[in-house]
């Protein structure tokens, strides 16, 4: 009796799949066909692989499973934002979001179940990190959102941001492998320029990305350029200090010549003073930078509060005068807990 657990076929590379077919006495080419079904066509069953013989499909069935995600619940915000609760093959749940504008559809995807970091203002941080997502689980979130974009907005997905649950750099290999598949013509064929990986800033992995010559964009969740302040709201900053982060970003810029985006929330009494913005200007000075001022999405008892408009205006004015591109981002999907920092599997 078969007691061994069947292997997830999407853990195989294309070459491994080709070798498998050769070992079965079939042609290596069969591996290419199946690979195309698994990735480009995102098939969820061997049954669906209609140009593969019934016999071969049964043989695959006997050896492998196709672990795929299932959108358990879809919520739509009154502003058009869609949030998916995504069930993984082992029953765990993550969330991903489709953010439509008049011209674009952006997918915000998760990279971990829960998060290993402890940002005080983020709902996901309250969940324990359970595990990293596999490349196919990241890929499937993108496919699901692309399908929804075509269905509800009549256009394919245009952009991807790794700003859902988890710290993407703490799941480095799987995130990069997923992006490889998403950008490959054998996958979804998306341009890496339309993909942004957002990190709270793990210095040695930022350097590794530069060494690996990645072509996607980098966003750093900064929130303060003063160590004491940043450590009080993002406690891991005690380990990965601003000096280390800055050095890693200088390395990144020297190697990639790619502009750095900073995400930044201004909170009342925390980082809304003149010296906070001055520190930010000094921090960004070494490379072309863009600062996204994100609206705070309350997650709790009010320990954190969005700063006054006058503080936001001071930030915008000071940054602009110093030649730093700045945008003020309004939140989307707040009514369904789909906005930045609100993903916490409430459903
Ligand atoms: N771990 C990654 C990506 C996930 S968070 C990172 O830290 O970058 C995506 C963005 O939402 C980050 O910039 C994060 O700091 C921000 N964020 C977290 N909680 C928030 C909240 N309650 N309101 C607004 N933005 C928040």
CA separation (Å) from 292 to 81, 117, 315, 325?
Answer: 20, 21, 11, 9
**Which residue owns the Cα nearest ligand 1 atom 9?**
163
Joined tokens for residue 74 = 């879809």
Model pLDDT for residues 156-181, shown as the tens digit of each residue: 999 999 999 999 999 999 999 999 99
Rounded to the nearest integer, the mean pLDDT of the chain is 94
Provide the pairing of β-strand 93-100 with 105-108: antiparallel
CA of 149 to the centre of ligand 1 (A): 24
Does pTM top 0.75 for this prediction? yes
For residue 2, the SS3 value is: coil
Is 340 one of the catalytic residues? yes
CA distance 325 to 128: 35
Model pLDDT for residues 83-115, shown as the tens digit of each residue: 999 999 999 999 999 999 999 999 999 999 999
> What atom of ligand 1 comes closest to residue 115's alpha carbon?
1
pLDDT at 238 over 70: yes
CA of 37 to the centre of ligand 1 (A): 35
Is 95 one of the catalytic residues? yes
CA distance 47 to 33: 14
Joined tokens for residue 294 = 């994100």
């Amino acid at each position: 009796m078969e007691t061994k657990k069947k292997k997830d076929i999407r853990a195989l590379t294309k070459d491994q799949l080709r070798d498998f077919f050769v070992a079965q006495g079939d042609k290596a080419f069969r591996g290419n066909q199946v690979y195309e079904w698994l990735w480009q066509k995102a098939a969820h069953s061997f049954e669906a692989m209609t140009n593969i013989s019934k016999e071969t499909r049964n043989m695959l069935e006997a050896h492998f499973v196709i672990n795929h995600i299932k959108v358990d619940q879809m919520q739509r915000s009154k502003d058009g934002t869609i949030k998916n609760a995504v069930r993984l093959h082992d029953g765990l749940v993550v969330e991903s979001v489709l953010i439509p504008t008049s011209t674009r559809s952006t997918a915000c995807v998760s990279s971990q179940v829960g998060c290993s970091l402890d940002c005080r203002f983020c709902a996901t941080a309250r969940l324990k990190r359970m595990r990293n997502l596999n490349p196919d689980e990241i890929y499937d979130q993108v496919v699901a959102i692309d399908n929804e974009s075509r269905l509800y907005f009549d256009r394919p997905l245009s952009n991807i941001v790794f700003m859902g649950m988890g710290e993407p750099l703490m799941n480095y290999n799987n995130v990069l492998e997923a992006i490889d598949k998403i950008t490959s013509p054998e996958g979804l064929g998306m341009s890496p320029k339309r993909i942004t990986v957002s990190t709270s800033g793990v210095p040695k992995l930022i350097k590794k990305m530069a060494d690996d010559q990645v072509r996607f964009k980098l966003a750093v969740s900064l929130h303060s350029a003063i160590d004491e302040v940043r450590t009080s709201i993002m406690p891991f900053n005690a380990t990965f200090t601003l000096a280390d982060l800055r050095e890693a970003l200088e390395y990144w810029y020297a190697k990639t010549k790619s502009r750095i985006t900073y995400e930044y929330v201004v909170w009342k009494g925390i980082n809304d003073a003149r010296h906070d913005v001055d520190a930010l200007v000094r921090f960004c000075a070494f490379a072309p930078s863009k600062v996204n001022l994100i609206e705070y999405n309350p997650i709790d008892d009010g320990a954190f509060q969005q700063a006054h408009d006058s503080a936001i205006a001071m930030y915008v004015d000071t940054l602009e005068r110093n030649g730093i591109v700045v945008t003020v981002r309004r939140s989307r999907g707040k009514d369904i807990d789909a906005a930045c920092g609100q993903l916490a599997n409430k459903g």
